[in-house]
Amino acid sequence: MSLAQAQTTPEALQLLRKIHYATQSLSYTGTFVYQQGERSETSRIARIADSSGGVEKLEVLDGMPREIVRTGDVLRCYLPESRTVKVEHAGDQRSFPALLPERFTDLARHYVITRGERERVAGLDSESVLLTSRDELRYSYKLWADAASGMLLKARTLNEKGETVEQFTFTQLSIGSVARHKVKSKFATRNWQVEEAAAAPDNLAESGWSVSADLPGFRKIGEVRRRLHASPEVRQVVYSDGMAAVSVFIEPLPGKHDATRNGLSSLGAINIFTREVANHLVTVVGEAPAASVRRIAERVEFRRPK
Amino acid sequence: MKAKISELMDSELHGAEATAPLSALREEGGAREAWRTYHLISDAMRDTGVLSPGFSDRMVRRLAEEPAVLAPAAWRGAVAETVRRRLLPTAATAAAVALVGWIAFAPQDVPPPVPVVQAPVTKPVPKEPARVLPPAAAHDYLLAHQGYSPRNLLQGVAPYVRTVSGEAAQRKR
């Protein structure tokens, strides 16, 4: 089916809404495999739905155990190898909602959204929806959801050649009430280092920075100043087209920055472009093809304000 | 019963334990289907019989030429092990779908085998620039970024696995 002929269908948008609703309202436990590049990792996930946004836990089972626990608006990343807890506040990030059900129809400007075939995934009868990119600036997606509950069971990210660059696949899923201990971290973190993001709204233009997505459909959804690794003040601007997001990080150039690592790198579906501008390090990170990430990075300019 | 079929296949049932599953297999139906499915999975993992000879070698070579594509050595090694150890028997059916789907996605036009004598190969100029190593702080950037991803609204906290994927290996750099 050529893109010229294909049209977004209401049934496909309906399935997207169903998936969104299921993710927000259900309690569940499950096991999934995440594949990117040459890597494959198995994780356990659990969620308890409640009136304050729910509690969720992700536990990576391969290699050193790592955990992510989200309680309402606070997200903690537990890294036992370095005895560190990193804390992010999702509340800071929700001031520009990236994707609401009513914005699903906006998505159709840049993706053709259609229903795919029914298949069995994780032993469940599932429906599928395709989001086929209308251009080469973003990826395409295929999502499979449990026909009964709407829970997303499998998600595949495809590049412009139709090759899979990333995949999430549930292998086991139980929907229903979840014991409280399943969403608690197993780590005793009393002597661990805690790194708070401490993000605050920022205005980069005021300090002379010019950043733009310059990609159709990508609009700004966040602009903050925050702590990141060793830097107390890193600026971050985020763009999204409703399905993918790209962040631009700007920080003072670290003393021992290795310039040979400037340029393009990839982690599966995530592309990263690093360059230096006005004695600062610009890092663009996102779920978009390399050319798009690079384009955003090369648009970053600095003009000292008068 | 499907769990028992899998255990039977792995020679983990002995004597009386095997009686019920063996009886079930005599009838056509779910047990027989499970038997076929599990053999499909283990064949796929061991690359015996189901696929044409040399298929996976050709696929490895073909996909190795494309830097952006997932290398199938991963599914033979890491994924197969992961699936086998952790997920059978409860998820064998799903694994069959995952693995068979993986094979199905391989390019349809498999090129002829590479000649033994290595003639110089002129590769087409790649469209994309060469890649460098990801930044040492890649996972910090990913963690700061992931909260904004619309994928969270469709998958909950699952996409955060990207922020810690290979974290231990990455930190050694």
Q: Please write the tens of the pLDDT for every residue from A132-167.
A: 999 999 999 999 999 999 999 999 999 999 999 999
Distances (CA, A) of A230 to A13, A76, A149, B140: 43, 18, 43, 10
Give the residue-averaged pLDDT of B144-159. Answer: 93
Pair (B90, B21) in one structural domain? yes
Start-to-end CA distance of chain B, whole Å, equals 47
Model confidence band, residue B34 (pLDDT cutoffs 50, 70, 90): low
From A139's Cα to the closest Cα of chain B, the distance in A is: 13
Residue A56 and residue A151 in one domain? yes
Residue A5 lies in a domain: no
For B153, half-sphere exposure in the C-beta direction (CA atoms, 13 angstrom radius) is 21
Give residue B71's pLDDT: 38
The 10s digit of each residue's pLDDT in A241-265 is 999 999 999 999 988 888 888 999 9
Average pLDDT on B111-140 reads 66
* Mean pLDDT lowest among A50-54, B9-13, B67-71, B162-166: B67-71
Q: What digits encode the pLDDT tens for the residues A20-78?
A: 999 989 999 999 999 987 789 999 999 999 988 899 999 999 877 799 999 988 999 99
A190 domain residue, yes or no: no
Residue B122 lies in a domain: no
Whether B107 and B143 share a structural domain? no
Chain B (143-172) residues lying within 8 Å, Cβ to Cβ, of chain A: 143-145, 147-151, 153-169, 171
Q: Do B150 and A57 touch (CB under 8 A)?
A: no
Of B79, B114, B149, the position where a domain reaches its end is B114
| pLDDT value at residue A159 | 95
φ/ψ bin of B121: left (φ > 0), alpha (ψ from -120 to 50), beta (otherwise): beta
| The predicted structure's pLDDT at residue A51 | 86
Q: Do B133 and A64 touch (CB under 8 A)?
A: no
Q: pTM for the whole thing?
A: 0.72
* CATH code of the domain containing A141: 2.50.20.10
CA–CA separation, A118 and A174 (whole Å): 20
Are both B12 and B68 inside the same structural domain?
A: yes
Yes or no, beta carbons of A81 and B167 under 8 Å apart: yes
Q: Residues A286, A253: contact at Cβ < 8 Å?
A: no
A87 close contact with B: CB closer than 8 A: no
Is the domain of A30 the same as that of A123?
yes
Which residues constitute the domain of residue B164? 132-173
pLDDT at B171 over 60: no
> Would residue B67 be called left, alpha or beta, if left means φ above 0 and alpha means ψ between -120 and 50 degrees?
alpha
- B171 domain-assigned: yes
Tens digit of pLDDT for each residue in B20-32?
666 666 665 666 6
Q: Please indicate, yes or no, whether residues A15 and A148 belong to a single structural domain of this protein.
A: yes
Q: Do A37 and B168 touch (CB under 8 A)?
A: no
Q: Are residues B5 and B68 in the same domain?
A: yes
Shared-domain flag, residues A60 and A154: yes
Domain assignment of residue B93, yes or no: yes
- Kindly state the percentage of chain A with pLDDT values over 90: 77
Residue A147's domain spans which residues? Answer: 10-183
Q: Determine how β-strand A124-133 pairs with β-strand A119-121.
A: antiparallel
pLDDT at B78: 47
Contacts 24+ apart (CB under 8 A), B123-130: B123/B65, B126/B67, B128/A264, B128/A290, B128/A291, B128/B68, B129/A263, B129/A264, B129/A290, B129/A294, B130/A263, B130/A264
Query: For position A282, which CATH number holds?
Result: 3.30.200.100
A183, closest residue in chain B (CA to CA): B157
CA distance A244 to A223: 17
In A, minimum Cα distance to B93 occurs at A123
Tell me what pLDDT residue A37 has: 73
Residues A167 and A220 in one domain: no
Q: Which chain B residues are Cβ-neighbours of A242 within 8 angstroms?
A: 150
Cα Rg, chain A, nearest whole Å:
20
The answer to whether residue B154 is domain-embedded is yes
Q: Contact at 8 Å (CB) between A198 and A226?
A: yes
Note whether B129 contacts A: Cβ–Cβ < 8 A.
Answer: yes
Query: How many whole angstroms separate alpha carbon A23 and alpha carbon A139?
Result: 22
Q: What is the pLDDT of residue A38?
A: 78
Report whether pLDDT(B97) > 60. no
Tell me: do A122 and A258 sit in the same domain: no
B91 near A CB under 8 A: yes
pLDDT of residue A261: 86
Residues B94 and B143 in one domain: no
Q: Are residues A26 and A132 in the same domain?
A: yes
Residue A64, burial from CB neighbour count under 10 angstroms (0-12, 13-18, 19+): middle
Counted domains in chain B: 2
Question: Is residue B120, in this structure, part of any structural domain at all?
Answer: no
What average pLDDT score do residues B119-142 get? 74
* Rounded Cα gap, residues B156 and A153, in angstroms: 12
Radius of gyration of chain B (CA): 21
Counting the structural domains of chain A, the total is 2
**B156 contact residues in A (CB cutoff 8 A):** 23, 45, 47, 56
Q: Taking the alpha carbons of A124, A127, A128, A129 in that order, is the dihedral positive or negative? A: negative
